[in-house]
Amino acid sequence: MSDARKAAFASNAAAREGFGAAKFAALAAGQAAAVAYVAAHELGAAAYAIRAAREAAPESERGEAARQECCWQREQLPDAIRDLVLEDQRQRNDTCWGVFAC
């Protein structure tokens, strides 16, 4: 946990200095490192990664970039937890900036 906490602090510090896609990518890394032991926060890193993908795309392609990242993430889900994660995304989509509406 000590190493995870250090990684989270470093990622969050980088996020404070960054903007756009780099900021959201750093927030995704920090969230993943900081909350691995808190089941209620597991969607944060995925949501930040979708926001990073959206910010990295040209403005006219941002919606599609976010959708593609969301779909890619869902393809990576192991069958054993797929339904659980998808239901959690449906329930908490509004809290996660609506990024799981793909």
3-state helix, strand, coil in the chain (%, to 5): 80, 0, 20
Torsion angle of the four alpha carbons 31, 74, 68, 37, in this order, in degrees rounded to the nearest 10: 0
Q: Could you give the residue ranges of the DSSP H alpha helices within 35-61?
A: 43-56
Q: Where are the domains of the chain?
A: 2-92
- Whole-number Å distance between alpha carbons of 83 and 13: 34
Residue written as token pair 């920090």:
30
pTM value? 0.80
Residue-wise pLDDT tens digits, 66-101: 999 999 999 999 999 999 999 999 999 999 999 999
Determine what percent of the chain is predicted with pLDDT higher than 90: 63
